[in-house]
Chain A
Amino acid sequence: GDSVTQMEGPVTLSEEAFLTINCTYTATGYPSLFWYVQYPGEGLQLLLKATKADDKGSNKGFEATYRKETTSFHLEKGSVQVSDSAVYFCALSDREGLVFTGNQFYFGTGTSLTVIP
């Protein structure tokens, strides 16, 4: 079945360091891939997405490229800030052909990031 595996945390970085959070996936159909961010005590917010192979999603300095050959969607940022401290979730949404059957959204377990000044 479909699944998402992301690197375990917690991750602690100094401000302005380079960030990579690994995410790999298994899917049977035509997945779209997502990164969500969750700040303490809040819901999840969509950070970026990619809907087909080789697409690059980007937002707020974060980037991720949909790599079908390696089934990966790693999250990167060149220079993290204290305000980036949060939990990051990789997710995929699959469909069978063109049909979205509603319960085909899979989340990774989340990676906690702490950025220290």
Chain B
Amino acid sequence: DGGITQSPKYLFRKEGQNVTLSCEQNLNHDAMYWYRQDPGQGLRLIYYSQIVNDFQKGDIAEGYSVSREKKESFPLTVTSAQKNPTAFYLCASSIGVATGYTFGSGTRLTVV
């Protein structure tokens, strides 16, 4: 079955470390997205990519970086510059306006 796979499900980061969250899709979708979700809150867009080798900042890109070298993959790096990284991170993909998004199951990042 096609879908989006996020890994790991849980991730712990020490202060000052960079960590990378994986997102892989086999839906042949062009567009991919990263969202951050804090407890009891909605979704905030970090980065998005509409095509390979191209990506744009979302509303809260500071302290994060992405790459899109392959259509299937859109990894997110949480850098040490992100001062409050503890959150639930969701990856999504889309093929167009009428189909909506398909989401992965999320990665919960905790700073220890």
Contacts and interface: CB of A to CB of B under 8 A. Distances in A.
Contact of A93 (B97, B103, B106): B97
Nearest to B102: A46
Interface of B: 4, 6, 31, 33, 40-43, 45, 48, 50, 56, 58, 90, 92, 94, 96-98, 100-106, 108
Contacts of A51: 98
Most buried by B among A36, A104, A107, A108: A107
Interface of A: 32, 34, 36, 41-46, 49, 51, 89, 91, 93-95, 100-105, 107-110, 112
**Which 10 pairs of residues, A with B, have the shortest CB-CB distance?**
A43-B103, A109-B42, A102-B50, A100-B97, A44-B103, A95-B97, A43-B105, A93-B97, A51-B98, A43-B106
A103 B105 contact: no
Given A43-B104, A45-B103, A102-B50, A107 B97 contact: no
Contacts of B92: 44
A94 B97 contact: yes
Nearest to B45: A103
Nearest to A101: B50
Contact of A103 (B56, B96, B98, B103): B56
Nearest to B88: A41
Given A44-B103, A45-B103, A109 B97 contact: no
